[in-house]
């Protein structure tokens, strides 16, 4: 039994307020990501390869906040974060504040496989990317007109400089393969108007990204500062491994803890054997799932989208 889940961010997403053409484009992107990951798993491939393939599709799709179409920092720069983790031996790689790599999730995998490190940042990570001959891209690829408009709107406000509503979040994927292994990958542009080199939970192993064959794989999206403080990815996995909780109970408890701290968001979780679950505490979350015995399904808005 194999299974794959993807997400494209959680936030203030309501059907009545969201343009129909944008919703259709996002659903198409989620389906494309599922197809890319499922092709790996259906052929007997590893969860690690499946989550990278799925996230690369979402990074290339401007409907989501990762890679092309990532949100802009306060000074107008694209600063990308990504992480990937292999549940087989808990190997992990991550990058923060990179600006030139077309697919940051693949750079995170190179960090995992080609260095003794877990997390590289900024100019050093960009240099490593070039040394690894990964495909580079410029501002004309990453920065879309819509993201420039959102930044201008935010900078014109007098009531704050930070997108507190987290309307356009992270992308991610989790998978369990037919061999009993799990993996997770997450990628983001952060939040609109971020300053001072702000880094959220996405590239922090154990917060926004985590995978352990003894428990599950987790990819998170939402108000990153609170997900960091709660150690969301590791906490969910620990509850499955040590507390003998179900996925549903562990996720509910941990997201409840995040809410108690003041944060909102969502997670996707996959465990060996094909068990999987998603949950979110925001009005909506871009999400999709597929498995060996069920067809692809995608949703954006509340639970009614999962009917």
Residues whose CB is less than 8 angstroms from the CB of residue 25 and which lie 6 or more positions away in sequence, other chains included: 61, 63
The pair of three-digit structure tokens given for residue 193, joined into one six-digit string = 């108007």
DSSP calls for 83-122: EEEETTTTEEEEEEEE-SBS-HHHHHHHHHHHSS-SEEEH
**Three-state DSSP class for 53?**
helix
Establish whether 170 is a catalytic residue.
yes
CA distance 210 to 30: 21
CA distance 149 to 281: 27
CB atoms within 10 A of CB 100: 22
Cβ burial of 290 (10 Å; 0-12, 13-18, 19+) is buried
Q: Pick the catalytic residue: 3, 170, 192, 264?
A: 170
Residues whose CB is less than 8 angstroms from the CB of residue 133 and which lie 6 or more positions away in sequence, other chains included: none
Q: Which of 276, 33, 17, 68 is nearest to 172 (CA)?
A: 33
CA distance 284 to 73: 24
- What is the set of active-site residues? 170
């Amino acid at each position: 039994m194999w299974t794959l889940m993807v997400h494209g961010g959680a936030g203030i997403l309501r059907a009545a307020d969201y343009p129909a053409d944008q919703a259709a484009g996002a659903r198409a992107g989620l389906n494309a990501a599922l197809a890319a990951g499922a092709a790996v798993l259906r052929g007997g491939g590893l969860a690690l390869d499946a989550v990278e393939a799925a996230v690369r599709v979402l990074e290339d799709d401007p409907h989501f906040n990762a890679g092309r179409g990532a949100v802009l920092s306060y000074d107008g720069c694209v600063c990308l974060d990504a992480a990937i983790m292999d549940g087989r031996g808990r190997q992990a790689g991550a990058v923060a504040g990179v600006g030139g790599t077309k697919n940051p999730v693949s750079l995170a995998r190179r960090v995992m496989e080609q260095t003794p490190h877990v997390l590289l940042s900024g100019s050093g990570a960009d240099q490593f990317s070039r040394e690894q001959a990964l495909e580079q891209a410029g501002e004309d690829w990453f920065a879309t007109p819509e993201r420039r408009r959102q930044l201008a709107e935010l900078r014109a406000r007098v009531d704050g400089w930070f997108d507190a509503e987290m309307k356009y979040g992270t992308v991610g994927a989790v998978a369990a393969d037919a061999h009993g292994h799990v993996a997770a990958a997450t990628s983001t542009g952060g939040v609109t108007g971020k300053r001072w080199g702000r880094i959220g939970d996405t590239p922090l192993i154990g917060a926004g990204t985590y995978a352990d064959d003894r428990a599950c794989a987790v990819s998170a999206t939402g108000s990153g500062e609170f997900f960091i403080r709660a150690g969301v990815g590791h906490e969910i996995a620990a509850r499955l491994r040590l507390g003998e909780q179900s996925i549903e109970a562990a996720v509910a408890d941990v997201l409840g803890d995040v809410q108690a701290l003041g944060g909102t968001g969502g997670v996707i979780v996959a465990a060996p054997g094909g068990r999987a679950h998603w949950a979110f505490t925001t009005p909506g979350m871009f999400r999709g799932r597929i498995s060996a015995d069920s067809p692809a399904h995608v949703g954006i808005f509340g639970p009614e989208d999962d009917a």
